[in-house]
Chains A and B, each alone.
Chain A
Amino acid sequence: MRRLFDFKNRRALRARLDEEMAFHLDQLIAEHERRGMSLAAAKLEAKKQMGSSLRTQESYREQAGLPGIEELVRDLTLALRNLRRRPGYAGSMIGLLGLGLAASLTVFVLTDAMLRRDLAVPRPDELFLIGDEEGDPAMISRAAVERLAANLPNSRIAAYGGGNAGDHAARQSAGKKRERAISFRLRAPGDEDWADGRSVTLSRG
């Protein structure tokens, strides 16, 4: 608290140090003169005893102020001065810095969304991708999706891409950690067992 107060009054404190040191030096010179030294020799001896005034002032300045804050203010002032002196260079540097930050942020957001955060479905580790026999993602018609949804009462379709698919032999591949394959076939009206009302046959592959 006291240091904060001194920091506010640091100029007065520096003036105080100057006055105190001048007094001290004069007293030393007078004392050496009393002991028989010439004025020049007394001054020399007194200065020697006082040591480096620069070091004293520096040490006092540090004690009277808040060196960390003063350094920060100095750095900011210097930075602003340089910005004003070379705006083009400063602008390009700021632009580069901005690009770097944007790239880092994008990588972070993507990594966060893909690897860290769960998908917005009830059981994100039990998602299945429907594919064809070769394992490529299948094109399934909306009607087929609806039939699939109706025949999987404990599941729901989280997302699908539309297409002109009829029958599909599809394969479900398990979520992130386990590779659990389930194959099923969507039946079309032309199939001989279409009439039994079961349009999807599921079997573990």
Chain B
Amino acid sequence: MSKASSQMDVLQGTLDLLVMKTLAGLGSLHGYGIARRIEQVSEDLLALNQGTLYPALLRLEQQGWIKSEWGVSENNRRARFYSLTVTGNTQLETEISRWRRMSAAVNAIIADHGGAAGHGRQLR
């Protein structure tokens, strides 16, 4: 299977969590760095439409969860660097907890083999 066909889109609503977690782990990063890091950590499983990242970064900044400033990249280019704020850190904990509960619920439903059969009517 090719790499492109095995990639999955980032689930709707999880981009904020992924961005904040990446910034919490690596400190200050520019948009490209964030996108690359998400792909690397997911071992290229998550395909990020990289253009969608910037509206998300602006939204997070407007909510006060991240902040940004101009800086110089590793190849001496001007770039906008993002970092997590204190409020963002708290929000990240909330988002992680919410995700854990959600994924646990989905896993529980997937793992439930017999529940549905018990409620069904048997056909003769």
Q: What residue in chain A is nearest B51 (Cβ atoms)?
A: A56
Q: Is B62 a contact of A2 with CB atoms below 8 Å?
A: yes
| CB proximity of B86 to chain A, nearest CB, Å | 16
Having A56-B51, A62-B55, A63-B62, one finds 14 other A-B pairs with CB under 8 Å, namely A2-B64, A6-B58, A20-B31, A20-B54, A20-B79, A23-B31, A27-B32, A49-B49, A50-B51, A51-B50, A52-B51, A56-B52, A56-B54, A60-B54
- Interface of chain B, main secondary structure: helix
A11-19, A70-78, A137-145, A146-154: which lies at the interface: A11-19
| Chain A residues near B32 (CB-CB < 8 A) | 23-24, 27-28
A21 at the interface (CB under 8 A from B): yes
Chain A: interface secondary structure? helix
**Contact assessment for B80 and A20 in the assembled complex, using a CB-CB cutoff below 8 Å:** yes
A3 is an interface residue with CB less than 8 A from chain B = yes
Number of residues on chain B facing chain A (CB within 8 A): 22
Chain B residues whose CB sits within 8 angstroms of the CB of A59 once the complex forms: 52, 55
A23 engages B30 (CB within 8 Å)? yes
Most A Cβ at <10 Å: residue of B35, B49, B50, B51? B51
A26 surroundings in chain B (CB, below 8 A): 77
Residues of B39-86 at the interface with A, using a CB-CB cut-off of 8 Å, are 49-52, 54-55, 58-59, 61-64, 73, 75, 77-80
CB pair B78 A19 closer than 8 Å = yes
Q: Which residues of B contact A13 (CB under 8 A)?
A: 58
- A81: CB under 8 A from chain B? no
What is the chain A residue whose CB lies nearest that of B77? Answer: A23
* A53 within 8 A of partner (CB): yes
- Shortest CB–CB separation between residue A24 and chain B, in angstroms? 5
The 8 A-B residue pairs with the shortest CB-CB distance in the complex, in nearest-first order: A56-B51, A51-B51, A51-B49, A59-B55, A27-B32, A24-B32, A2-B62, A60-B55
Contacts of A6 in B (CB 8 A): 58, 62
Shortest Cβ distance from residue B6 to the other chain A in the assembled complex, whole angstroms: 16
